Structure 1
Amino acid sequence: MKLPSYFRKPASAVMACALLAGVAVSCDDDDDFWDAFIPETDKEATSAQIQGYVFYPALQPASDQNVGQLKVPAGFQVNKFAEGLGKPRMLATSEKGHVYASDREAGIVMMLTDTDGDGMADDKKTVANIKQVHGLHIYNGKMYMAAVKEVFVADINPDGTLGQPRMLISDLPDGGQHPNRTLAFGPDQKMYISVGSTCNACPESNPENATLLRAEEDGSNRKIFAKGLRNTIGFGWHPETKELWGMDHGIDWLGDDEQKEELNQISQGADYGWPYIYGEGKYNPGDRPKGDTTYQQYLQKTKLPSLTYQAHSAPMAMTFYSGAQFPEDYRNDAFVAMRGSWNRSSPVGYKIVRMHFENGKPVRFEDFVTGFIVNNNKAHFGRLVGLAVHSDGSLLFSDDTNGVVYRVSHP
């Protein structure tokens, strides 16, 4: 695949300026294009003008009025499963119906239980205290929990509470810009751990940053499974094909519509391009491959995404649907929590999307839960993070800005 060393992309008027690895960002309102000349080597000058924004929608409460105007497909309904939870992040569910949520800021794992089956939790208790805990995964009757540099495991008691956490790993890389570790066990019975980059775009000094790692169940024999992944928080295996898929966060400060979020089929030993190659094979003007390697040479060994999604939507958790409550055509599709943009003039994301698979391959995204952006795109009442399928087949997702876990059901 050969690309020219120059390309033009449309962009919007400038609202904020930044400096990207020596590349000046213009504040000229008359600049309507993102222009770049990116030579293969440094024997010619790299020239790029990039327009960037910072826009955080204001926060509104998750009031009954706001929640009541959320939109889901016909036949579905959405309600608050639990609220007043602090800042719930990642979710995990047990076969017995216990729902677990991490709160990284509080350093706790909480357990939510719907004892009367009315679709709302009526019991909440803290079941683990771990500094900066984030990723959660249940495997072989145990709860696995990831913090910035550590992975812990705890037995799950018959009542759903957890035993004393035991540390399995203590030396994951420092967090930097992306400290939110996630983990899961694959069909090969190995532990997979996502380790994001320390920066927006830069060569990493620690080879384990911007990777997906793989280890044994006890945390031993840790190796890099795939690299060039800026921050793949959400990943999982297709229930039928057992292929591994993950949503990677795009680079910031490349404009309103760059870099698109990537859906990658993650393969052992593959390089997904970050920080030098992004999207559909484009060159990052701020970071040149090391040594005598040209962009084109790096592109040739880069595995490109299977699908892309609107830039700056910030994909978080991803889960495949294998429950029995939703219509049959939802089975083996995936859901993704889009946290929402901050590095864009008009907000995008702030929703749950459905990822359609046909014959085991992803074909398109479509909206599933929308309406968290209100007041003419100037405010929101939810930035979404965690996803999990409840034992009853409903879909749960978390918002860490208003402390709510929502439930989508199909009565």
Structure 2
Amino acid sequence: MKTLHHYRKSVLTVIAVGLLATISISCDDDDDDFWDAFIPETDKEATSAQIQGYVFYPALQPASDENVARLKVPSGFKVTKFAEGMGKPRILATSEKGHVYASDREAGIVMMLMDTNGDGVADDKKTVANIKQVHGLYIHDGKMYMAAVKEVFMAGINADGTLGQPRMLISDLPDGGQHPNRTLAFGPDKKMYISVGSTCNACPEPNPENATLLRAEADGSNRKVFAKGLRNTIGFGWHPETAELWGMDHGIDWLGDDEQKEELNQIKQNADYGWPYIYGEGKYNPGDRPKGDTTYQQYLQKTTLPSLTYQAHSAPMAMTFYTGSQFPQDYRNDAFVAMRGSWNRSSPVGYKIARVHFENGKPVRFDDFVTGFTVDNNKAHFGRLVGVAVHSDGSLLFSDDTNGVIYRVAYQ
């Protein structure tokens, strides 16, 4: 049962499950034994939890020169606008020839940008594809692959960067529901990988392809579930040295300010990452019990836990590994993640670009890379970030779909 008392800026949500008792669970408590003691393994005993939840959307300010000047990056870096007036740019893709592509899901278009004079600002923009609800973009073998909610398209890339007529490869991906933002990429095995999010916040999915990463041939055939239990892994990619697959998964909402943390997973074939029953460092989700006679402990034993976690509700979006030569050597083969920012939290988090620092091919920590998008004492923002990509000149590009800006980070 969920009760909401709505105010202008926040919603207090109390979730109570069970009939016998009400147990107050602190969402800051990271002790698994604490959670295990109050969440029974089977439904022969009542489960009861009271959790405070919030809705807080910071107000939107323009991406003015004054606001952009407040952005913070590490010493030696500079962040500027690469393009503006872009509508609602989402996922970015870049070509070796310097073409920059951005999807606009709401407009149903793919745009192409060029910086023809090399001054760090796009001076040529055109629409190169019209596909309803297009979102995911990826360039492979001289072709552009584009994912909508239920479809995947492929188009040839012309010499000038424009696209040929899109050809549909897949038409029957699962319905979108709560998470319709499909993304796709090609791995070292030359196979197509497609992320399909869950239809809900937390629920058993009737379609086995929801909350998964799918793998198919380049022509869309032979589609199979590669990994499951992934609530919404929009950003994923292969480490340039190890060829291991990594992805950022969105945590469950309505578990409080500090739960569920976002997950960085090493994604392996046939692995189960726990959603919706197990989350974070092996915690039980009180709202959903494993099916049949399976206990939480039994499900935990077959769950692959994350390698790193990140502040809950930061909303990780696109992720890319840095393979350029412009940044200092220490950045090479690290990953950048666009953190869109929270709405299900009393004070905002996210709204930044984070760096995932890798050592010997393994992630060891998250570092801030671009911050400062929240202003007015965290009551407002001027950017919720989505796409991230490495430009052919070695700079980093990222998109904001609230003010229609694509930003560029360069090392001076």
Change in CA separation of 1:20 and 1:124 when aligned onto 2, cut-off 3 Å: farther
Aligned equivalents of 2:13, 2:290: Cα separation in 1 = 22
Aligned equivalents of 1:308, 1:82: Cα separation in 2 = 32
Q: Which residue of 1 aligns with 2:153?
A: 152
How far did residue 231 of structure 1 move?
0.0
Contact 2:16–2:50 under 8 Å retained in 1: no
SS in structure 2 at match of 1:172: coil
Instruction: Provide, for residues 9-28 of structure 1, a one-character-per-residue CA deviation record: whole Å limited to 9, x for no partner.
Output: xxxxx95244659579xxxx
Q: Which residue of 2 aligns with 1:3?
A: none
Change in CA separation of 1:39 and 1:32 when aligned onto 2, cut-off 3 Å: closer
Contact 1:21–1:286 under 8 Å retained in 2: no
**1:12-411 pair list within 5 angstroms:** 16-18=11-13, 22=17, 33-34=26-27, 37-411=38-412
Aligned equivalents of 2:303, 2:84: Cα separation in 1 = 43
Instruction: Provide, for residues 159-197 of structure 1, a one-character-per-residue CA deviation record: whole Å limited to 9, x for no partner.
Output: 000000000000000000000000000000000000000
Instruction: Provide, for residues 203-246 of structure 1, a one-character-per-residue CA deviation record: whole Å limited to 9, x for no partner.
Output: 00000000000000000000000000000000000000000000
Residue type matched to 1:244 in 2? L
Give the TM-score normalised by structure 1. 0.94
Instruction: Provide, for residues 87-131 of structure 1, a one-character-per-residue CA deviation record: whole Å limited to 9, x for no partner.
Output: 000000000000000000000000010000000000100000000
Residue type matched to 2:142 in 1? G
Residue type matched to 1:88 in 2? P
Aligned equivalents of 1:48, 1:356: Cα separation in 2 = 36
Aligned equivalents of 1:23, 1:139: Cα separation in 2 = 51
Aligned equivalents of 1:56, 1:400: Cα separation in 2 = 15
Aligned equivalents of 1:262, 1:383: Cα separation in 2 = 19
Instruction: Provide, for residues 39-64 of structure 1, a one-character-per-residue CA deviation record: whole Å limited to 9, x for no partner.
Output: 00011110111110000000000000
How far did residue 32 of structure 1 move?
8.5
Aligned equivalents of 1:140, 1:264: Cα separation in 2 = 27
Change in CA separation of 1:23 and 1:100 when aligned onto 2, cut-off 3 Å: farther
SS in structure 1 at match of 2:298: helix
Aligned equivalents of 1:22, 1:84: Cα separation in 2 = 47
Aligned equivalents of 1:396, 1:402: Cα separation in 2 = 15
Aligned equivalents of 2:289, 2:100: Cα separation in 1 = 45
Aligned equivalents of 1:313, 1:110: Cα separation in 2 = 27
Which ranges in structure 2 are unaligned for 5 or more consecutive residues?
Answer: 1-8, 28-33
Aligned equivalents of 1:280, 1:49: Cα separation in 2 = 21
Aligned equivalents of 2:409, 2:124: Cα separation in 1 = 19
SS in structure 2 at match of 1:352: strand
Aligned equivalents of 1:89, 1:263: Cα separation in 2 = 21
Paired residue total:
393
Q: Which residue of 2 aligns with 1:8?
A: none
Instruction: Provide, for residues 269-320 of structure 1, a one-character-per-residue CA deviation record: whole Å limited to 9, x for no partner.
Output: 0000000000000000000000000000000000000000000000000000
Contact 1:23–1:49 under 8 Å retained in 2: no
Aligned equivalents of 1:398, 1:378: Cα separation in 2 = 21
Contact 1:21–1:287 under 8 Å retained in 2: no
Contact 1:53–1:343 under 8 Å retained in 2: yes
Change in CA separation of 1:79 and 1:154 when aligned onto 2, cut-off 3 Å: same
Same amino acid, percent of matched pairs: 86
Q: CA RMSD in A?
A: 1.6
Contact 1:227–1:270 under 8 Å retained in 2: yes
Which ranges in structure 1 are unaligned for 5 or more consecutive residues?
Answer: 1-13, 25-30
Residue type matched to 2:212 in 1? T
Contact 1:180–1:196 under 8 Å retained in 2: yes
Aligned equivalents of 1:46, 1:176: Cα separation in 2 = 27
Aligned equivalents of 1:200, 1:23: Cα separation in 2 = 20
Aligned equivalents of 1:109, 1:352: Cα separation in 2 = 23
Aligned equivalents of 2:388, 2:142: Cα separation in 1 = 20
SS in structure 1 at match of 2:242: coil
Aligned equivalents of 1:120, 1:282: Cα separation in 2 = 46
Aligned equivalents of 1:391, 1:16: Cα separation in 2 = 44
Residue type matched to 1:93 in 2? T
Give the TM-score normalised by structure 2. 0.93
